[in-house]
Copies of this chain bind each other. A is one copy, B any other.
Amino acid sequence: MRKYLLTPGPTYIPSLIREVLAKEIIHHRTQEFRDILKEVHQNLKKIFCTENPVIIFTSSGTGAMEAAVSNFLSYKGKVIVINGGKFGQRWKEIAQSYKLEIVEYKFNWGEVPSLEVLDELLKKNKDVKAIFTTLCETSTGTVYDIKEIASLVKDKDILLVVDAISGLGQDELLTDEWGVDVVVGASQKGLMLPPGLSFISVSPKAERFMNSSDLPKYYFDLKKALKSYFNNDTPFTPSVSLIIALKIALEMMMKEGIKQRWKKFSFLASATRNAALSLGLTLFSKRPSNSVTAINVPSGIKAGDLVKLLRKKYKISIAQGQAEFKDRIFRIAHMGAIDRDDLTVCFSFLEKSLEELGYKNFEKGISSKIIQETPDV
């Protein structure tokens, strides 16, 4: 029985990519590897919608998030942190670790930041150096309006840093066009790879901030990384096998093109939402993302029980909520290589599992039928 992995990372990895991981390893200080890095660097730019360098770190996504704090800020620098979920909270924690002065814009999970509030915060805090925010807040399945936020700081001496770890590849993000300075990504979501690589794009404005930053860093030092980048090299031994697999993953993505992928996932996400609604369920997010859908569990059912049942009995992995929403929501990812068929199977067993847990208030088969009718793009 095949296992279905519809968690928001790691996600299903196509066999074409997995096979590459089993090949004999090559040395990283060779022309062969430099050629691979060169192609990867070019294609990463297209996924990140930027002409700026996209640096690869061997780390989880959180490593690149830390790099975005330690490389661009200085001691006691003031930053705005947009916190509407677990990953906004992570920005806050990283900024705290570096003793930055934090203006926290906190709101309820599932909601989105208000432009008016942000504008007000910027007016009250003229010395703000950067805004840290999230494209898709994975914990709530919410996509923020980054274009709108970017419009506030585009012409100011303020950096906009976006955690796009789960959103990249599914949720629209026009980095350069909107004026986003720093975008953070990771390998195990839209890029269809195992976890182990993180990414960070660096705008010229961000490079300027970098040159005056006084926070300590070594492994995640972007100055060193950028110097190597332009030689298609890395300062430290990189995760060679994952980078070779990344080359394949990017080639697969390039065949479709990033805009086509955004379109595909907007259809899949919409189908997922409609499928959930067809079961009489409600959505958790006020502005649902195209990467992951958060659904409220029917009253009387614990999300943990639902997720366990699906995984143990039907080999379908989805995620429950996080923190205080652990047992109140469940989350279905539609990112990377996850397709209509995966979601069809997922919803057909979701129906079964809901029934087994006592929730029967729906027409059998309706949700997977809705998924199957997603337009083929």
B22 touches A22 (CB 8 A): yes
Partner of A194, one of B5, B239, B317: B239
Cα–Cα, bound, A70→B5 (Å): 36
Cα–Cα, bound, A195→B238 (Å): 6
Cα–Cα, bound, A215→B97 (Å): 9
A238 touches B58 (CB 8 A): no
Identify the closest chain B residue to A234 (Cβ).
B60
Residues of B within 8 A of A317 (CB): 27, 30
Cα–Cα, bound, A260→B240 (Å): 30
Given contacts A58-B59, A218-B62, A219-B66, contact A194 B25 (CB under 8 A): yes
Cα–Cα, bound, A70→B97 (Å): 12
Identify the closest chain B residue to A317 (Cβ).
B27
A contacts with B: majority SS: loop
Cα–Cα, bound, A61→B59 (Å): 11
Given contacts A216-B216, A242-B196, contact A24 B28 (CB under 8 A): no
One of A7-15, A117-125, A250-258, A366-374 contacting the partner:
A7-15
This chain: copies in complex: 2
Cα–Cα, bound, A97→B236 (Å): 16
Residue A21 CB within 8 A of the other chain: yes
Given contacts A10-B28, A311-B30, contact A59 B219 (CB under 8 A): yes
Cα–Cα, bound, A28→B188 (Å): 12
Given contacts A97-B221, A195-B240, contact A13 B27 (CB under 8 A): no
B237 touches A9 (CB 8 A): yes
Please tell me the size bucket of the interface on A. 35 or more
Residue A19 CB within 8 A of the other chain: yes
Residue A23 CB within 8 A of the other chain: yes
Residues of B within 8 A of A23 (CB): 18
Residue A98 CB within 8 A of the other chain: yes
Residues of B within 8 A of A58 (CB): 58-60, 63, 195-196
Given contacts A21-B21, A194-B240, A237-B61, contact A216 B99 (CB under 8 A): yes
Identify the closest chain B residue to A63 (Cβ).
B219
Supply 19 further A-B pairs (C-beta < 8 A) apart from A60-B237, A62-B218.
A13-B25, A18-B21, A18-B23, A21-B21, A21-B22, A28-B195, A57-B59, A58-B60, A59-B63, A60-B236, A97-B217, A98-B218, A99-B216, A186-B237, A188-B240, A194-B239, A196-B196, A196-B239, A239-B239
Please list 20 pairs of residues, one from A and one from B, whose beta carbons are closer than 8 Å in the complex, sorted by A's number.
Answer: A7-B27, A10-B27, A10-B240, A18-B23, A18-B25, A19-B22, A21-B22, A27-B317, A30-B311, A60-B236, A60-B238, A62-B218, A65-B219, A94-B218, A97-B218, A186-B237, A194-B240, A194-B242, A196-B239, A196-B242
What are the 4 A-B residue pairs with the smallest beta carbon separation, nearest first?
A: A196-B239, A22-B22, A21-B21, A194-B241
